[in-house]
Amino acid sequence: KQEVTQIPAALSVPEGENLVLNCSFTDSAIYNLQWFRQDPGKGLTSLLLIQSSQREQTSGRLNASLDKSSGRSTLYIAASQPGDSATYLCAVSSGNTGKLIFGQGTTLQVKP
Amino acid sequence: NAGVTQTPKFRILKIGQSMTLQCTQDMNHNYMYWYRQDPGMGLKLIYYSVGAGITDKGEVPNGYNVSRSTTEDFPLRLELAAPSQTSVYFCASSDLKQGQLNQPQHFGDGTRLSIL
């Protein structure tokens, strides 16, 4: 059974720092891994999707990497800003129906 | 485009009552999903649908029912509300097609449900 774990559960950093969020999964047979952002009281916004054949994806200050063999992904946020404060969730898709298995999330606070 | 729209945004139910959570999407996506999120946890899949008339169970389906009569709508029904169903419910859709399985999911803003 696929399990997804995110460490740390919470993170607080000063503005301007570069930071890394971690995601691990137990079964390497995945189609893709997705990173989402969740603001308080809101739904999830898709940030990056990495296909199983890819090593990384970039969008602006965000870079996500995937090491399928070791069951790990990282989300790198460069030059963090207070507006980056949110909960970040990773999820893996293993079947042909797009069903996602989610980690518990990392709540990030960027202090001005 | 509105994307994925969920109603209501908040609801309080008494134990044993029933209700339907509404979800509609205007992106013509075939795949739709219902998840629940408990405090401090990730999302867990309740039910999903790969197209009108086709639904299947996810990880935590007990106590819920769904239907998919149109591409746009995917309502979730609670028949006998229990305190364990207090949660935030999210509906999502995806533009998956045969041979194109790497598509992101688009989420609604959620329905916050309390069972007292």
Mean pLDDT rounded to a whole number for chain A: 95
Among left, alpha and beta (phi > 0; psi -120 to 50; other), residue B109 is alpha
CB contact under 8 A, B101 and A89: no
Report whether the peptide linkage leading into residue A82 is cis, meaning its omega lies within 30 degrees of zero.
no
Tell me the average pLDDT across B76-89: 96
The reported pLDDT for the residue numbered A41 is 85
> Does residue B111 contact residue B88 with C-beta atoms inside 8 Å?
yes
Q: Predicted confidence band at B97 (pLDDT cuts at 50, 70, 90)?
A: confident
Indicate yes or no: CB of A4 within 8 angstroms of CB of B42.
yes
- The residues pairing with B76 across neighbouring beta strands, listed in sequence order, are B21, B66
Nearest residue of chain A to residue B54 (CA atoms): A97
| pLDDT tens-digit map of B22-53 | 999 999 999 999 999 998 888 999 999 999 99
Confidence category of residue B70, pLDDT binned at 50, 70, 90: very high
Q: What is the mean pLDDT of chain B?
A: 93
Considering only the beta carbons, identify the residue of A42, A44, A97 that sits closest to B48: A97
Q: Which residues contact B42 (CB under 8 A, 6 or more apart)?
A: A4, A89, A91, A102, A103, A104, A105
pLDDT of B1:
65
Alpha helices in chain A (DSSP H): none
Q: Would you tell me how many other CB atoms lie within 10 Å of the CB of residue A4?
A: 22
Please say if the pLDDT value at position A40 is more than 80. yes
Check A99 against B33: CB less than 8 A apart. yes
Distance CA A8, CA B6 (A): 31
Grade residue B109 by pLDDT with cuts at 50, 70 and 90: very high
Distance CA B110, CA A32 (A): 24
Nearest to B101 among A4, A31, A36 (CB): A31
Measuring CA to CA, which residue among A103, A94, A47 is closest to residue A75?
Answer: A47
pLDDT in tens, A96-107: 888 999 999 999
pLDDT of residue B40: 80
Q: How far apart are CA B60 and CA B43, in angstroms?
A: 11
Yes or no, beta carbons of B105 and A105 under 8 Å apart: no
Under the banding of pLDDT at 50, 70 and 90, the label for residue B100 is: confident
Decide the pairing of beta strands A100-102 and A86-93.
Answer: antiparallel
Average pLDDT over every residue of B59-79:
96
pLDDT tens digits, B2-11: 799 999 999 9
Residue B22: count other Cβ atoms within 10 Å of its Cβ: 16
